[in-house]
Chain A
């Protein structure tokens, strides 16, 4: 497995799929020079003692979901939060890549806030399509929109890394995919202008910014323009949710990664008639839900992504 990734030729689709099945047990990905190499399971990886900036990604908590694929999405979010609290290396902050709630209800947002705030960490959100169901996206913006532009996009800096939260779930066009829109893209161009190419960039958004599976809407219509603005940077990491499973792709200096949900899994592309919630055996559910731990090591331009299921 490890030798598969040491060939210096990047990762083929077959290998990524192999890793997806393996990722359920927790894989440390180290990014060096744009080529990922897997370092082993979490237990071994701990020996590496990450230093520098560590942050955490959670995604797709779908608070309010109570269907057969997971009748207790609140319970599994609480388990994810407990896992965060128990991490040996305390993350600097959390990013949530959307679908905080299932139906954008005030009570769902309240429950999500109550549980996620127990991490006692700053949380940087972007909305998923399930968070913007009300007229004018008022509920999401009232809670998380302070200091953001448009439908909720923004950037910030931490430890020399530039973070950009993008919104690709509003104003979707018939027949299309996720959508960033001209206003946001112009803002992005301006936000990146003048930054040295050596600045490590982390972009996060709900729907994948690469074409995972357009037949299921798993991609973003105008992502190419965003990636065009990013291509001069030496280290770009794109973190997404939406598809409720781990996928990774490397394209030049850009590493794309999608996280597990804390609520329910979805099928691999094309493996089911639709991307709807996937029912797995009760004792397997927690092996396909989880959180993602990301570490940036200063001076090495590399970023380690560790996916941790709720239960191995």
Chain B
């Protein structure tokens, strides 16, 4: 009995060590397959998100009012997204991409794209 409890404790400690290790190496291949951004209560959530180059970000509109994902330079230009509609965009080039809702322009967000390889942030 005592032995089993001991084993569980050891396993937990190991798991914690692995998690800690993962956290110290951001270059580990744990990139989320499909990062989602929600549009909820007339706001983008998260308002600012950081991804690796090559990542496809998908926005989903959870409001009962249509919204868009639009950048001033028109690189991002979704149609009006009705309730539950989605819009995806693949970010290939590092940089900061500011966007807003062209129907409710006080709604603003940003996607920060970092270089895909290496463990340091994009310059």
Contact = CB atoms under 8 A, between A and B. Distances in A.
Interface in A187-242: 214-217
Given A273-B41, A274-B43, A276-B63, A177 B80 contact: no
Given A172-B102, A174-B72, A174-B98, A133 B83 contact: no
A291 to B, nearest CB: 22
A175 B41 contact: no
B108 A174 contact: yes
Interface class of chain B by DSSP: loop
Contacts of B42: 216, 274-276
Contact of A277 (B64, B82, B102): B64
A103 B79 CA distance: 11
Interface string A116-160: 000000000000011001000000000000000000000000000
A67 B61 CA distance: 14
Contacts of B105: 172-177, 217
Nearest to A174: B100
Contacts of B98: 174
A114 B6 CA distance: 77
Nearest to B80: A133
A43 to B, nearest CB: 35
A106 interface: no
B41 A276 contact: yes
A69 B64 contact: yes
A276 B82 contact: no
A210 to B, nearest CB: 16
A61 interface: no
Contact of B106 (A68, A129, A130, A175): A175
Chain B interface size, as a band, is: 20 to 34
Contacts of A133: 66, 79-80, 103
A151 to B, nearest CB: 14
B48 interface: no
A30 interface: no
Nearest to B104: A217
A277 B65 contact: yes
A243 B9 CA distance: 59
Nearest to B42: A274
A311 B90 CA distance: 50
B64 A67 contact: yes
A57 interface: no
Nearest to B103: A129
- A102, A174, A273, A274 pick with most chain B CB within 10 angstroms: A174
A133 B14 CA distance: 55
A174 B106 CA distance: 7
Interface in B28-49: 41-43
B106 A215 contact: yes
Contacts of A275: 42
A292 interface: no
B16 to A, nearest CB: 37
A277 B106 CA distance: 18
8 contacts: A69-B64, A133-B103, A216-B42, A216-B106, A217-B104, A217-B106, A273-B41, A276-B65
- The 7 A-B pairs at the shortest CB distance, nearest first, are namely A274-B41, A174-B100, A67-B64, A274-B42, A133-B80, A172-B105, A217-B106
Given A133-B79, A175-B100, A177-B105, 13 more contacts: A103-B80, A130-B66, A173-B105, A174-B98, A174-B108, A175-B105, A176-B105, A177-B106, A216-B106, A274-B42, A274-B43, A277-B64, A277-B65
